[in-house]
Structure 1
Amino acid sequence: MPGDLHTHTTFSDGSLKADWLPRLAARAGLSHLAISDHDSMHSVRYGYANRLRENVRLIPATELTAFDFERGRRVHILCYWPDETCPDLIAHCQLMADRRNAVCRQSGRELEEIYPQFRLEDALALAQDGGVLYKSTLMQVLCDYGLADGIYKETYKPLFGKGGKVLHDPDYQTVDQVLDVIHKARGVAVFAHPSVYKSMELVTELALAGRIDGIEIEHPRNTPEDKQVLYQLAAQCDLLVTGGSDFHGRNTGSPRALGMCRTGDDALARLEQLAQTRKG
């Protein structure tokens, strides 16, 4: 049975608590699920603490954020089965939490000036599960108070879109730094959705250099043209091919059901075998 290896919860910018996702996975006929919250030890620890829920096998995971400074683009790298005690991984996640909180607090203070009913403290209360503020957290407060038309709809664009009046982005680590963290944690590194940030050149470089273990090819936002090239690249470099929905619950610009993109049985078995080999 297949698995969905890319999902998000209230540990980061998803709308549902982690306990809900195994239920949805079971209803979707999945055997495996990876809760892969952004730069989060919470999702890693949840996966290890809940190895089997609703007859669904959980894979400990997190989606780490990096920046390709050569091309000026963000990069997401999925990390599966890392050592949850790895100091470098813990430090990276804490660093990104601190940076996200700093910029979102600034955005929140600016929203208070625009919307008298908005309060940063209300957004902080919504972020208790993961302890990290996101743009979607701030937008949720605006939605709850009738001040926005949706998380990522028309109200969002002038606030947090390109050049948005309250947009502040955190600083990110380099791609090599993040990959080094994954390797130190003995995790399995899978390049996430290359089409999303136009990273086809980068993923090719990393694959040929042996820096990644796999590519997330089955993803809602990968283009058909890119997917064809990625399958050829994965075959050439003998890489894992994974699939995931990038599920965020209602916190998404378009409907994206858990399980809509999947990882096959062979890839799941190979992923677990590789993880076991790394752990020794």
Structure 2
Amino acid sequence: MIDLHIHSTYSDGIYKPAELVAMAAAKGLKTIALADHDTVAGIDEALEAGQSRNVEVIPAVELSVQFDTYQDVHLLGYLIDHRDRIFLDKLAEFRTIRDQRGQAIIANINVKLQHEKKEAITYDEAVNFADGAFGRPHIARVLVNRGYAKDMQDAFERYLIPCDEPKRYFPMDEALAEIRRLGGIAVLAHPTSISEERKVLATVIGKLAGKGLQGVEVYNNMCNADESAFLARLAEDLGLAATGGSDFHGIEGGIEMGSGRGQLAIPHTLATALKNMHHL
């Protein structure tokens, strides 16, 4: 079995890349993909750990993208050149903007905390949880640690969502072109996060295929078996690769690496097909 969608402390996961590889080995996973949000800083650590643990690690990234009227579409780039200097510079600029957004969110939260007669939180507290790209889950962890929220979901509902600030996204055309330039394969993550209406999804994915999308995350935590079957048929009709992953962060209750909520069993043949596409 494999898991092609995992996050580490370099974005919004709670385990370091080497820890994730060790967990994968313990679960008998043969291949994983480290796909952190807007950063590739953890890949070399994961690759090194994979060699010692006999776990294949696929270099990947998950970009936050805007397409038409859809914001925060997630685009996975697999088998990319993660050491490309131009790409690294783009990600660094993107992370600077993420940091500025995070500081603004913290300021908004502190206004709310002041009204609640609670002590303010700090940027330094939150950023200490991040090895790479800083994001809202790191702020949520501070709120939980302070006792201001009972868990991550509660932190988001009570503080992060009402105190949010606008997020910057990669334009879809730019993101697809960049993954292609890096020699990678562009795959749409958890498609039903865009829409659960099948006609809408078929239209969106069809448009993206025409722009250079190469795959669809058919097997994921947001889909039931019937939805995955629909996505598999759609991918086959459009000539797109099928992939799958748990989107494991380590902070969601009931989600495990490799199996998700218990419904995932992603065959190694999907990783093989992805690599075969890469070599074409």
8 A Cα contact 1:43 1:61, kept in partner: no
* Alpha-carbon separation, structure 1, partners of 2:156 and 2:207: 35
Which amino acid letter does the alignment assign opposite residue 119 of structure 1? T
Specify every segment of 5 or more residues in structure 1 that has no aligned partner in the other structure, as ranges.
none
> How many residue pairs are counted as aligned between the two chains?
266
8 A Cα contact 2:218 2:244, kept in partner: yes
CA deviation after TM superposition for structure 1 residue 210, in Å: 6.0
CA deviation after TM superposition for structure 1 residue 191, in Å: 1.0
8 A Cα contact 1:46 1:60, kept in partner: no
CA deviation after TM superposition for structure 1 residue 22, in Å: 1.2
| Higher relative helix content | 2
8 A Cα contact 2:33 2:57, kept in partner: yes
CA deviation after TM superposition for structure 1 residue 223, in Å: 4.0
* Alpha-carbon separation, structure 2, partners of 1:119 and 1:83: 35
* Alpha-carbon separation, structure 1, partners of 2:239 and 2:189: 17
CA deviation after TM superposition for structure 1 residue 50, in Å: 4.4
CA deviation after TM superposition for structure 1 residue 120, in Å: 2.0
Q: What's the counterpart of residue 248 of structure 1? A: 249
TM-score in terms of structure 2 length: 0.87
Secondary structure, aligned partner of 2:231: helix
Identity %: 25
8 A Cα contact 2:258 2:266, kept in partner: no
Q: What's the counterpart of residue 206 of structure 2? A: 204
Which amino acid letter does the alignment assign opposite residue 84 of structure 1? H
Moved more, 82-91 or 175-184: 82-91
In structure 2, the CA distance between the partners of 1:36 and 1:118, relative to structure 1 (3 Å rule), is same
TM-score in terms of structure 1 length: 0.87
Moved more, 7-16 or 110-119: 110-119
Can you list the C-alpha shifts for 1:161-182, whole angstroms capped at 9, x where unaligned? 2xx1x20132112111110110
Secondary structure, aligned partner of 2:9: coil
Q: What's the counterpart of residue 124 of structure 2? A: 121
* Alpha-carbon separation, structure 2, partners of 1:91 and 1:197: 29
Consecutive aligned runs of 4 or more in structure 1 exceeding 3 Å deviation: 43-51, 223-226
Can you list the C-alpha shifts for 1:135-171, whole angstroms capped at 9, x where unaligned? 1111111111111111112x4213222xx1x201321
In structure 2, the CA distance between the partners of 1:78 and 1:66, relative to structure 1 (3 Å rule), is same
CA deviation after TM superposition for structure 1 residue 134, in Å: 1.1
* Alpha-carbon separation, structure 2, partners of 1:62 and 1:148: 30
